[in-house]
Structures are given as C-alpha cells and as structure tokens.
C-alpha cells in the first residue's frame, strides 16, 4: 500500500496548523495509521520528509507512544481496562474471558482480522468500572458476558453503539478523528452517562445550588509566592520554587 | 450556609445536547466574554488570584499566581496549554466535563489566554477518548464560526487561536514539561526545571499550563465574582471542585461540592457502600497519593487536611476498595502501571519501578522472601525525591502507605497468594450476579 495524494496533502495540512510544524508529528502519525492500518515505514519516511526530520527521529516518537501500532491492526481495537480499580471490579476476569473466547493474547489480532485485543491503562472512566473501549469509544459497566456479546457483534459486522458515544465505525476511521478531522458523529450519544450525573441529580432533588453568595471574603488566599508554595501540596513544587528564587551561584 | 453539593461545572450535564454552542449560550455561556476581553488583563489575573482558585490538576498551586509569573516584557509569543491528558488512575472528571460541556472549557481558554497575553492556545487531550475529541473539535469549530475564536473576537481586537491536539497514549504526558515536549512532537519526557514553563515553556516561550477543571472554572469566577467563589470551600482551599467516586460504593460518579466535604458525606449522599461492603482503603487523589483508610472518613477533603492526614488531595479521585480486596494485588497492579509508564529518562524511576514490580509479584504469589518488605521500603526511599519528575515519587506512594496500614498482608505474601486470602471474584461488580 502506498499513501495517496489526498493523505499526503492532509499531512501537510496538519503540519500547517502549528506555529512550528514538528508539533504536528503526533497527529500525523495518527493519520498515517488511519490510512495504512499501522505506522508503516513509508509513513515514517513521509512524516520525516514533511517535517525535515530524520526517519530515526520519527521512529523514536512512533515507538514511544502506545497508541501507535507497528503491526497491521484488526478492523476494531478492543481495549479492556486492567488498571487497578477496573481490574478489581472485574476487568481481569473480562480480559481473561475475551482472550479465551477470541483465542488471542494481549496485543494480538483474531484470525479473521476483525479484532485486536489489548489490555489498556486507566481510561478516565473509573465511575463506570469495569470499562472497555472499542476504537477508543467507551463501553461502561461491562461483564464477561456483555464483553463476549460485544465482540461477537463486532465480528458479525452488526451495528454497535458506544454506551456514552457514537456508533462504532472502525479503528482506522477513529484514528482519523484523533488525527484532526471531524467525522460528523459528534451529535450521537448522550450529554453524559448516568454515573456522571450522580451528584447533579442529588443536588437537583434537594434544590442545592452553588448560587449562595456570602460575605466570607478571600481571607487565606496566598498573596506571595512563598505563601502559595506553602499552600501547594507537593514537596517537589516547593523545592523547585525555592531553587528558582535563589540567586544564581 | 453553603449547600452540600454545588453544581457549576456539572450544572448542564443533564441537559439535552449541552455540548452545542446554542445550548451553552442558553445557560448564560459566553455572556461575560466580551466584558472580560474589554477589561485589563492584569485585572483578570487579580480576580483569579483573589478568588483563591488553585490548580485542579493535583498540586494545588494558585492559578492566578501562575499566570502572574508570565514575563509580560518578554517579546516572545506567550502560550496557554490546557492539560487534558487525564490519566491518573482513578481520575475521571475532565473527560465527562469535556464530553458534556466543551464550551465551558473553551470560554475559559479564551479568557485565560487574553489574561496572560497569549494569542495561541492548545488543548492537549489524551488520544484514547474518541467521543471527547469529537465534541472538542466540534465546539472549537463552532466557536470559530461564531467569532468567539480567531481574529478580533467580538470586535474587541483580541485574537486567540485554539488547536485541539490529541496525544497518543502516554501517562507521563500529564506531567507538564513532558506534555510540552510531546506537544513539540518529541517523545514525552520531562524537562529539568528551572527554567520553568512560565519563562521557557512551549518553543522556549513563556507558557502557562493549566488543568481542564482550573480553566473551566474561570468563566464562573468572572461571571459570579471572586467573592462568590472564595465564599465556597475552606480557609485556604477555595471554591468548588468535582469529586470522583469509584469502586465499591452504591453510587459511583461525579459529585461537585465545595472543597472540604468529607468522604463519609460523599459516600452517604450516594446511599453508602455497596451492599455488604465495609471500607478498607481508598485513594484521595489517584494512585499517586498515599492510601488512606476508614479512620480517615471524616478528614475534610481539602488541600490542607488531606496533607495533614499524610496524603495529598491530588485530583480528588476517590477510589474506594472494600474488605474483599487484597491491598497487595492492588499495589502490584499500580506498580506495574508505573513501570509501564515510566518514560525511561531517569534511572531511579526506570530501574526502581522494574524491581518494585518483581518483588511485589512474588509477594502477590505468596512467594515472598525474607526481607522483601524492607527491600520495598528501601527501594522506595531511593526513588522518592530522587526521580526526575513526580511519576517516580507517585510510584512509591501506594507501596509505602499500604505497608504502613496493612503490613500483615505483605507478611502473608511470604507464604500465601493474595488470591487465596482475597478471592478476586468477590470484589467484582458482577459478584452478586454470579452468586445468584
């Protein structure tokens, strides 16, 4: 496969969005794998050429980030969060169940080329644990059974909708949005899922609001950098700020 | 008397299509933008300073003060970078905020950029959240179309451009200087400080990096006033924040409250722990903040009180674990995470997390060796404060705190696997269904 002229024009377009074009490298690599199914040697060469970098510099970046894939991906990327909270809430069981069901290990693709399975790190949806993703769309509150049903549907080509997002397209189409191009699906899905609304619903039921101005004033607000550092709760910030305030030796 | 919960950032999350410009405006969104852009930047900085807003990304540094560090006599361009790389285990507030109400963040970006003299802003959002990226891109486009971004915003002569930039999967990019390297198209590795980003940040130009929640709070301060904001919260921890409750509670989710609410109050609001559960341990602000236990249920969740309790408020990522959970298993998993996410730049973190994971693996398997606990503590002692950035420090937090509170479980790891002491099936969401 070779990159189309359209894709190359889009790579240039991404580079032009930034004050310094090298900033576009991450989006450009997303676009490369959207077009090619993985970060290919040709894609790396093209990015290097457009950004005036060596291929080694581009490869160094491409191999650092976990979302970039050097092997051809399945049609769908299925992620199972196995970071601690999701793991405890059932993510470990879901992941092991999917490995058995699909007959693949971590970061492997099913024989029919439909699914690449990967255990992922915390995806910022802990209130919906255990969480899965398909092409980086959320599937909340999963069970081993729902996970198996989900992958079966994906393999059968049935339409699947994220619990808090849009209709599932494909990993490559998702990568194009991540790279920087809209796909028209923004208006699908709810404003928020049920867990996101937990506090708001309780507040509404009790008539609680933030609109209660009082005259307590701003006593206790730090006025100086030293006071601010004393208030900030990282020792690191403190020592560094103190270093900064010291005159040069 | 302030109400128990105070929805501001979350107030429109139940609205239909809250992510559109039209619906954000219906709620009063962008109503003070023009006034803000016609006031003096220094006045805006003063307002944010006086409000007492402190960084919501973990460290709690005063936001207005961070802005005031930007040297305005420096002829180089200034930049605002929003840290939307929400990846700290347990943290799940910015993602729903940007999905539901992206214009709140964008309005904050416009005001904040103007305040610090930046004509170019970036939202660095983690790559693994497709629908959030869609909503951000659409909101950014809508804002341009309505003349809220770009040249001469609302005829005020103010220019602000915004790029929505998606990352590519690296926890370390939440560290602000690693984020800058990543945004420059490099591997995400932290930079030596000083120079601080305020002086030499993106492209070696003065740069402010703020968390999503911090920037999204700015419009409310401008609209409702600094005194209103400062009237919420505790003496040194002002305002409202989003608390994220997850794990073995009856009602996990997002709870927006003034700083200083306690975990007991939050859990009670949602109907307590899940059925049959007793609180065993919890993180106040993600896995990088030392664990706390049931004895800390009444600690006010503000920067000071959590610090006094021996931990850190962090991102208010309250991960709740009950009596069915093995602390050794949890600590091992977090350690594997830090090992995986260590960027490799400095030796204490790169090598230390590697060895920590090996020792914890054998303890988790019931094959611990004599002296392993002391070895863990010694390793942690050699990482904490000696790593290049806070990732290494954070990696030691769960380990040292877990040993402090649950040393007997680590001792049991000398002979009994954690899965035998705490069968994992009992901890799952579907444990009840399986038992039926």
Tokens coding B29: 């969104």
Of the partner residues B86, B101, B141, the one whose CB lies closest to the CB of residue A124: B86
Asked if A219's CB is within 8 angstroms of B92's CB, the reply is no
The pLDDT value given to residue B433: 52
Please, where in chain A does CATH 3.40.30.10 lie?
Answer: 76-179
Of the partner residues B100, B134, B312, the one whose CB lies closest to the CB of residue A182: B134
The pLDDT value given to residue A238: 47
Q: Does B95 touch chain A (CB under 8 A)?
A: yes
Q: In angstroms, what separates the C-alpha of A62 from chain B's closest C-alpha?
A: 8
Q: Which residues of A touch B164 (CB under 8 A)?
A: 180
Q: Does A97 touch chain B (CB under 8 A)?
A: no
The pLDDT of residue B34 is above 90? yes
Q: Among residues B121, B44, B11, B59, which one has the least CA distance to residue B390?
A: B59
Question: Number of C-alpha atoms within 13 angstroms, CB side, residue B281?
Answer: 25
The pLDDT value given to residue B333: 98
Distances in whole angstroms, Cα of residue B136 to Cα of each of A129, A187, B94, B103, B106: 24, 12, 12, 8, 9
Q: Which residues of B touch A149 (CB under 8 A)?
A: none
Sign for the pseudo-dihedral over CA of B101, B102, B106, B109 = positive
The pLDDT value given to residue B318: 98
Q: Does A205 touch chain B (CB under 8 A)?
A: no
B18: burial class by Cβ within 10 Å (0-12, 13-18, 19+)? buried
The pLDDT of residue A12 is above 60? yes
Asked if A83's CB is within 8 angstroms of B185's CB, the reply is no
Asked if B185's CB is within 8 angstroms of A195's CB, the reply is no
Q: Please give the ipTM for the structure prediction.
A: 0.96
Q: Which residues of A touch B394 (CB under 8 A)?
A: none
In angstroms, the CA A65 to CA A209 distance is 42
Distances in whole angstroms, Cα of residue B49 to Cα of each of A222, B235, B396: 8, 15, 33
**B17's torsion region: left (phi>0), alpha (psi -120 to 50) or beta?**
left
Asked if B94's CB is within 8 angstroms of A187's CB, the reply is no
Q: Does A247 touch chain B (CB under 8 A)?
A: no
For A119-133, A196-210, B226-240, B419-433, which range has the lowest pLDDT when averaged over its residues?
B419-433
Please, where in chain A does CATH 1.10.10 lie?
Answer: 5-62
Q: In angstroms, what separates the C-alpha of B277 from chain A's closest C-alpha?
A: 13
Query: Which B residues 107-166 touch A at CB under 8 Å?
Result: 120, 126-131, 133-135, 137-138, 141, 163-166
Q: Find the closest chain B residue to A93 by CA distance.
A: B425
Whether the pTM exceeds 0.90: the reply is: yes
Asked if A60's CB is within 8 angstroms of B429's CB, the reply is no
Q: Which residues of A touch B343 (CB under 8 A)?
A: 64
Asked if A124's CB is within 8 angstroms of B92's CB, the reply is yes
Domains and CATH numbers, chain B: 21-231 (3.40.50.11540), 242-322 (3.10.20.600), 327-424 (1.20.1440.230)
B63 band by pLDDT with thresholds 50, 70 and 90: very high
SS (H, E, C) chain A: CCCCHHHHHHHHHHHCCCCCHHHHHHHHHHHHHHHHCCCCHHHHHHHHHHHCCCHHHHHHHHCCCCCCCCCCCCCEEEEEECCHHHHHHHHHHHHHHHHHHHCCCCCEECCCCCEEEEEECCCCCHHHCCCEEECCEEECCCCHHHHHHHHHHHHHCCCCECCCCCECCCHHHHHHHHHCCCCCCCCCCCCCCCHHHHHHHHHHHHCCCCCCCCCCCCCCCCCCHHHHHHHCCCHHHHHHHHHHHCCCC
* Average pLDDT taken over every residue of chain B: 97
User: Could you identify the residue written with the tokens 């983690």?
Assistant: B126
Q: In angstroms, what separates the C-alpha of A156 from chain B's closest C-alpha?
A: 23
The pLDDT of residue A221 is above 90? no
Asked if B196's CB is within 8 angstroms of A244's CB, the reply is yes
Asked if B333's CB is within 8 angstroms of A82's CB, the reply is yes
Q: Which residues of B touch A189 (CB under 8 A)?
A: 131
Class of the A5-62 domain? mainly alpha
Of the partner residues A87, A126, A164, the one whose CB lies closest to the CB of residue B246: A126
The pLDDT of residue B60 is above 50? yes
Interval B148-193: pLDDT, tens: 999 999 999 999 999 999 999 999 999 999 999 999 999 999 999 9
A236 band by pLDDT with thresholds 50, 70 and 90: low
Asked if A211's CB is within 8 angstroms of B224's CB, the reply is yes
The pLDDT value given to residue B114: 98
Asked if B58's CB is within 8 angstroms of A212's CB, the reply is no
The pLDDT of residue A245 is above 50? no
Segment B77-93 shows an average pLDDT of: 98
Interval B288-346: pLDDT, tens: 999 999 999 999 999 999 999 999 999 999 999 999 999 999 999 999 999 999 999 99
* Domain A76-179 CATH (choose: 3.20.110.10, 3.40.30.10, 3.90.1150.10, 3.40.309.10): 3.40.30.10
Q: Does B383 touch chain A (CB under 8 A)?
A: no
Interval A22-33: pLDDT, tens: 999 999 999 999
Asked if A217's CB is within 8 angstroms of B230's CB, the reply is yes
Q: Does A174 touch chain B (CB under 8 A)?
A: yes
The pLDDT of residue B388 is above 50? yes
The pLDDT value given to residue B136: 98
The pLDDT of residue A153 is above 80? yes
The pLDDT of residue A152 is above 80? yes
Q: In angstroms, what separates the C-alpha of B355 from chain A's closest C-alpha?
A: 19
Tokens coding A89: 């809430």
Q: Does A16 touch chain B (CB under 8 A)?
A: no
Q: Does B282 touch chain A (CB under 8 A)?
A: no
Of the partner residues A185, A195, A244, the one whose CB lies closest to the CB of residue B194: A244
Segment A123-137 shows an average pLDDT of: 98
């Amino acid at each position: 496969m070779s990159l189309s002229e359209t894709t190359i024009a889009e790579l240039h377009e991404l580079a032009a969005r930034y004050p310094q074009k090298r900033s576009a490298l991450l989006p450009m690599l997303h676009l490369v794998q959207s077009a090619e199914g993985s970060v290919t040697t040709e894609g790396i060469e093209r990015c290097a050429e457009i950004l005036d970098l060596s291929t080694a510099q581009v490869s160094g970046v491409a191999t650092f980030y976990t979302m970039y894939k050097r092997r051809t991906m399945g049609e769908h990327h299925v992620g199972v969060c196995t970071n601690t909270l999701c793991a405890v809430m059932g993510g470990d069981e879901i992941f092991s169940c999917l490995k058995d069901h699909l007959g693949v290990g971590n970061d492997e693709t099913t024989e029919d080329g439909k699914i690449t399975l990967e255990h992922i790190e915390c995806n910022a949806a802990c209130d919906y644990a255990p969480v899965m993703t398909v092409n980086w769309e959320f599937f909340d509150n999963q069970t081993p059974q729902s996970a198996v049903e989900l992958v079966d549907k994906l393999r059968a080509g049935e339409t699947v909708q994220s619990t808090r997002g849009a209709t599932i397209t494909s990993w490559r189409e998702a990568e194009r949005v991540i790279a920087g191009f809209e796909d028209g699906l923004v208006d699908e899905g709810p404003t928020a899922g049920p867990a996101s609304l937990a506090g708001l619903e309780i507040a509404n039921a009790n008539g609680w609001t933030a609109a209660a101005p009082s005259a307590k004033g701003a006593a206790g607000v730090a006025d100086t950098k030293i006071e601010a550092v004393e208030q900030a709760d990282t020792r690191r910030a403190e020592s560094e700020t103190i270093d900064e305030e010291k005159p040069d030796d | 008397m302030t109400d128990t919960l105070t929805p501001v950032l979350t107030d429109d999350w139940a609205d239909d299509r809250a992510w559109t410009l039209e619906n954000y405006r219906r709620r009063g969104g962008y109503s003070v933008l023009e006034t803000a852009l016609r006031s003096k930047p220094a006045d805006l900085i003063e307002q944010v300073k006086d409000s007492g807003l402190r960084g919501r990304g973990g460290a709690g540094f005063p936001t207005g003060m961070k802005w005031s560090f930007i040297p305005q006599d420096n002829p180089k361009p200034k930049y605002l970078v929003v840290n939307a790389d929400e990846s700290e285990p347990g943290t799940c507030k910015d993602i729903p905020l940007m999905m539901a109400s992206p214009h709140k963040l964008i309005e904050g970006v416009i005001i904040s950029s103007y305040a610090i003299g930046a004509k170019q802003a970036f939202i660095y959002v983690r790559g693994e959240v497709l629908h959030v990226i869609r909503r951000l891109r659409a909101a950014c486009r809508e804002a341009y179309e309505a003349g809220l971004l770009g040249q001469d915003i609302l005829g005020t002569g103010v220019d602000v451009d915004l790029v929505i930039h998606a990352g590519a999967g690296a926890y370390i990019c939440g560290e602000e200087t690693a984020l800058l390297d990543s945004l420059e198209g490099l591997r995400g590795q932290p930079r030596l400080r000083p120079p601080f980003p305020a002086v030499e940040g993106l492209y070696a130009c003065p740069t402010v990096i703020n968390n999503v929640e911090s920037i999204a709070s700015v419009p409310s301060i401008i609209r409702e006033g600094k005194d209103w904001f400062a009237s919420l919260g505790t003496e040194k921890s002002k305002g409202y924040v989003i608390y994220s409750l997850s794990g073995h509670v009856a009602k996990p989710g997002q709870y927006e409250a003034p700083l200083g609410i306690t975990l007991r109050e939050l859990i009670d609001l949602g109907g307590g722990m899940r059925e049959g559960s007793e609180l065993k341990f919890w993180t106040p602000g993600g896995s990088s903040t030392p664990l706390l236990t049931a004895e800390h249920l009444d600690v006010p969740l503000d920067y000071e009180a959590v610090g006094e309790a021996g931990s850190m408020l962090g991102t208010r990522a309250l991960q709740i674990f009950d009596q069915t959970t093995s602390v050794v298993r949890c600590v091992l998993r977090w350690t594997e995470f830090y090992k995986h996410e260590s960027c490799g730049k400095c030796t204490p973190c790169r090598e230390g997390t590697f060895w920590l994971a090996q020792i914890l693996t054998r303890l988790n398997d019931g094959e611990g060796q004599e002296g392993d606990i002391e070895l863990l503590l010694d390793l942690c002692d050699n990482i904490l404060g000696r790593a290049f950035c806070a990732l290494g420090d954070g990696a030691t937090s769960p380990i040292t705190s877990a040993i402090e509170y649950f040393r007997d479980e680590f001792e049991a790891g000398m002979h009994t696997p954690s899965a035998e002491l705490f069968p994992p099936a009992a901890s799952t969401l579907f444990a009840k269904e399986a038992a039926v």
